[in-house]
Structure 1
C-alpha cells in the first residue's frame, strides 16, 4: 500500500504553494479543499470506488482539481486528447466504457452522443461527505491514456499507483529535489509528460506553474527571469525557445536546473545552441507505457554525452534485445515497477510484457559506458511536434475513401514540426490533397493529416506483400516519386 498522494502531502506541507495559473495560486491545503468539494459533487452522480471517469478538457486548474477528485473517490481517470477528431474521441470513449464522461464547457457538442456532463454542471451540485482513503493499493489503476499501436488501433494504457510512484521516485533520484522547485508545465495534461509533472508535484511538495498552451514569449520571460527551476519540452518547443533567446540575445536564469527534452531524437545543433544559452538540457527517453521517463541523462553528463538519453533510472532496467556488445543496435526492452500491467477495452487481452519485459519497438544501443542512445523511435513512427503518428492509423483512414485502393504513409522532414505525414496512394482517378484532407477531417486529428500527396502506380512491397515504408522515404528524397 502507498499513502493517498494528496492527503499525505497536505499532512506534510499544507501551506506550501502547489499550483500557479496566471495570477491565481493555490497551496496544497487550498487545492485539497477544492478537490474534496468536487469529489463530493461527483458522489451525487452515483460515482463509486473503482468506477472509470473520462475527462475531456484543456489544461487548466479545473482539470487538475477534477483529476484529484476522481482519485480521492478511488476512480480510474481516462484522459482524452482534445486535439483528436470527433470520430477518434468516440472510438476511445466507446472503448473505455466510462461510468461518467466529464467535459469542459464548449466540448459537449463534440461528444454529445455519449451524454457528457459539463464541469459547470458538476460545480452546481451540492457536495456530500465521503470517507477519504488513507492508503491506496499499488496495483490500482489511476490513469488511462490512449496511445496508437503499430496496427493503427489506439490502445488504452493502464497507469497504476506503483507505475506513477516508481517513475516519480526514480526521477527524483536522478535530478534531485529542491525545496523551492517550480516546474513550468506547458505540456498537455492529457499526455503523460504533462500528468507526470502534477504527480511529481504532490510527491515532491513542488509548485507547478501551469499554462493552457505554449506561450513562447511568456515562457521565455519565465526562463530568463528565474521564475522556474524545471521544464519539460519536445524538440520543436526547444527550437522555438532557442530562437527567441537568440533574437533577444539573452540567456536563461541560472535558477533553471533542468530542461527535460523527450518526444523523439534531439538534433545536436539544438543541444549545442542550448548550452550556449545556459539551458541545462537533459535528454530523456520514455513513453506512455512507462508513465514517462525510463532513462535520463544525469546533469553531470549533459555535455560529455551530448545526444545520449542517459542511463536507466535507478528503479528501471533496460536491455537491447539480441545485442551482446556495446554499440550493437537492437530493440529497446524495459522492465521495472513503472511499466504498465496492461491495456483496457479491445486490447485488454494484449500482453504489455513478454517474460517481464516491455518490447518498445524502438531501436537503440548502449555505448561502452552503458549510456543509452535511441537510434529511431520505431522505424515507421512519425513524431510531429512531440506527437506520435503511426502510419498505419493514417493509412487505415485514407483507405476508407472509395476511390483509393492502396495507401502508404511515411514521415517527411519539416522545419517547424520536425516531421509531417506524406501520403502515397494508388487510386482509380486523380485526387487532390485538399479533397483528401476534407475527407479525413472527421477521421483524423489535424496534426495527423497528410501534408503532401503523391499518386503512384504500385506500392513497394516485399515477398510477403508487406508495405516497405523505407522505400517510401527513399522516394521522398529521390527525383522520381514512383
Structure 2
C-alpha cells in the first residue's frame, strides 16, 4: 500500500536532479569545496554524476539490481521499491554529491554511514544495508577494515577508496564517459536514500527515504523558509545525517543555489565562508552556533548577508540566541527528525522574541498534532506526544516491520498516517509548537542520538559494574552528555570507563560523568526508577 500518497507513476525527471538543474542553470556554482578550493558548476556536477552512474551500474547499484528488495509482505508499512545499495563512510566530500546524483540516475540507493561509529556498530550496519559496493575515505580505512572483518558483518564485496586509501581508488574506477546516462523508469515511491537513526536498543535503524519524500521536503523547505536561487550556505552537518542532505543541501540544489562543504568543522573557517562567500543561510546544532560566538573572528566577521540562521538537533540556550541576535542575525529554533522531513516548522514573519523557545508553526504541507497515550488529540496547551504527517515523511525502517508499524503506521480512524516522533510537545494559544522533552530516555549529544540502554549494556560487562543507569546531564559544549550511575566497585574511574568503551561505542555515547550508589531506587518489583535516578543525579 502507498502510505504517504507520493504516487508510483514513473516520470523522466524523477531522480535526475543534476540533469534538470544543469538544463536550467548550467554555469551556476552548485558546490564549493572549502578544503581544496575547488568549485563545481551544475554542468560539471551532472557530468560527474553521469560517469559515476556508469560505475554504479557496473556494480549493481541500480533499480534492476538482483540485490533489490523483494516485494514487502503484508506486515510491512510502506511499499518503496529498493534497488541495489552503495554504502559510504566519509566526511563531506564532492564524491558524496556525485553518488547522490548518480543513484538518482540509476535507481540505486545511497546509504551514507557514520564515520563516528565503533567497529561493531559499523559492521552491523554494513550487514543490514547489504550493499553492492562500499566506498570509504582513506581516513577511515582502518575502521572499515575492522568492521569488514567483524563477525557481525557478512559483506565481502568490492571496496573503493577516496583520497589516500589502501583500497582501490574510486577516482580510477569511475569511467571517462560523461555523456548523458540512460537510466530506468522511476516513480516517486522508489527508494533513493537510507539514512540511519538510532533504535530503542541503540542499534541503528536505516530509514528508507523515497524520491517523493526527498522532493516534498525540498518543496516544504523552499516554501516555508523562503529559499532563493541566489542563496549560499556553509554545510556544517555531516553527510551521513539527514541534516547534511535534507536541511539545506538538496533544497538549495533544487533551486540552483550554492552549498559549501569542508572535511572538518572549524568555527573560524565557517565565519570566513559567511563573510567572504556572502552566505545567506546557516543551520547548525546549538554547540556549533555557540562555538562560532566564541571564535576569535566572531566580532569582526561580517554577518550582514545572513537572512536567517536556525538551530536544530536539541534545545538552543537563550544566551546563544541573544548573542546571534545582537549581531543582527534572525536565529530561531527548528525541529525535525530523519523519519519525517526533517524540516517541519517555520517562524512566521515578524515573530516575537518571546516565542524563541518554540519551533514555530507547521510548514505549508505539514500537519502536526499533539496526542495523549491513547492517541487522542490533546487540548490546547496540554503536553503530549508530537505526531507529524506530510508527503515528505520517510517510507519505513529497512527490514524492521514492527518498528515501522509503531512509527509510521496509521492509527485506526486516521485518513493518513502520522509519524510518531517520541517527543513531547504542546501548542500555545498562537499555534506555536513547543518541544517539552523526550518521551523515552533517549537524549541528544551534539546533534547525535544517544540511547542509554545501549551504553548500559556495554558498561554492565565491566567487572567492576554490578548495575548501571545512564542519564543525560547538561553540557555547555554538547548540550547534553551521559552520566553513568553505578552500583559497583568505586575504584572505577572515568578513564577506565572510556578505555573499556573504546571500540565498543561511538565516542559521543561514552559517559562523561560518573556517580556511585549503594543500590538503585525501584518503583516496583526489580524495576529501576529511572526518574528517581535522574532527579538525584541529573544536575551534572
TM-score range, shorter chain: over 0.9
Contact 1:40/1:130 (CA < 8 Å) preserved in 2?
A: no
Secondary structure at the aligned position of 1:139 is classed as coil
Question: Which of residues 4, 7, 17 in structure 2 aligns to 1:5?
Answer: 17
Contact 1:282 1:298 in 2 (8 A): no
- Kindly state the Cα deviation for residue 470 of structure 1 after the two structures are TM-superposed: 2.5
The within-5 A match list for 1:236-275 is: 236-244=287-295, 248-250=298-300, 252-275=302-325
1:459 Cα offset (Å): 1.8
Report how far residue 224 of structure 1 moved: 3.9
**Pair 1:15 & 2:27 matched:** yes
> Partner residue of 2:390?
336
Equivalent in the alignment of 2:94: 61
Q: Is the 8 A contact 1:96 1:345 kept in 2?
A: no
Which runs of 5 or more residues in structure 1 are unaligned?
A: none
Cross-structure match for 1:26? 40
Instruction: Classify 1:299/1:234 alpha carbon distance in 2 versus 1 (closer, same or farther; 3 Å).
Output: farther
Q: Which residue of 56, 64, 82 maps to 1:42?
A: 56
Asked if the contact 1:95–1:346 (Cα under 8 Å) also holds between the matched residues in 2, the reply is no
CA spacing shift, 1:256–1:470, aligned 2, 3 Å: same
Tell me what 1:446 maps to: 507
Structure 1 partner of 2:142: 109
Where does the alignment leave 5 or more consecutive residues of structure 2 unmatched? 1-9, 64-82, 149-154, 163-167, 411-416
1:53·1:78 contact (CA, 8 Å) conserved in 2?
A: yes
Alpha-carbon displacement from aligned partner over 1:251-273 (angstroms, at most 9, x marks no partner):
64322112121101112222222
1:186–1:212 contact (8 Å) kept in structure 2: no
Which position in structure 2 is the counterpart of 1:151?
201
Is 2:335–2:345's contact at 8 Å kept on the other side of the alignment?
yes
Alignment CA distance shift 1:347-1:371 (3 Å): same
Distance 2:174 2:387 in 1: 49
Aligned equivalents of 2:354, 2:493: Cα separation in 1:
49
- Is contact 2:271–2:301 with CA below 8 Å preserved after alignment? no
Alignment-derived partner of residue 218 in structure 1: 269
Task: Map Cα deviations across residues 266-310 of structure 1 (whole Å, 9 max, x no partner).
Answer: 122222221111111131110111131112223432635222101
Partner SS for 2:282? strand
2:4 is matched with none
Aligned residues: 478
Query: 1:469 corresponds to which residue?
Result: 530
What secondary structure is seen at the aligned counterpart in 2 of 1:293?
coil
Alignment partner, residue 214 of structure 2: 164
Q: Which whole-Å CA distance do the structure 2 matches of 1:435 and 1:421 have between them?
A: 15
CA distance in 2, matches of 1:221, 1:206: 19
Q: Does 1:425 align with 2:494?
A: no
Q: Alpha-carbon deviation of 1:406?
A: 2.0
Query: Would you say the 8 A contact 1:367–1:373 is kept in 2?
Result: yes
Question: Does the 8 Å CA contact 2:120/2:504 hold for their aligned counterparts?
Answer: yes
TM-score (norm 1): 0.92
Structure 2: how far apart are the matches of 1:87 and 1:348?
A: 24
Q: CA deviation at 1:409?
A: 0.2
Whether the 8 Å CA contact 2:233–2:274 is kept in 1: the answer is: no
CA distance in 2, matches of 1:227, 1:164: 27
Aligned-residue offset at 1:403: 4.4
Shift in alpha-carbon separation, 1:302–1:124, aligned structure 2, 3 A: farther
> Greater CA deviation, 229-238 or 61-70?
61-70
Shift of residue 412, structure 1, vs aligned partner: 1.2
Aligned residue for 1:121?
169
The question of whether the paired residues in 1 share the 8 Å contact of 2:237 and 2:284 is answered with: yes
Q: Pick from 230, 235, 243 the counterpart of residue 193 of structure 1.
A: 243
Whether the 8 Å CA contact 2:346–2:362 is kept in 1: the answer is yes
- Runs (4+) off by over 6 Å: none
Give the match's secondary structure for 2:291.
helix
The alpha-carbon deviation at position 402 of structure 1 amounts to: 4.4
RMSD, aligned α-carbons: 2.3
SS at match of 1:332: strand
More divergent stretch after superposition (429-438 vs 33-42): 429-438
> Post-superposition shift, 1:124?
1.7
Deviations 1:163-206 (A, max 9, x none): 11111111111111323111211110111011113211321111
Match of 2:408 in 1: 353
Match of residue 370, structure 1, among 431, 452, 474 = 431
SS at match of 2:353: coil
CA deviations 1:226-255 (Å, max 9, x no partner) are 62011111111111222337x753464322
Instruction: Render the CA deviation track for 1:72-101: whole Å, top value 9, x for unaligned.
Output: 211111110011111111111112211221
Instruction: Give CA deviations for 1:30-81 in whole Å, capped at 9, x if unaligned.
Output: 0111111122223333443210111111111122212322332111111100
Indicate how the Cα distance of structure 1 residues 95 and 134 shifts in structure 2: closer, same or farther if over 3 A, else same. closer
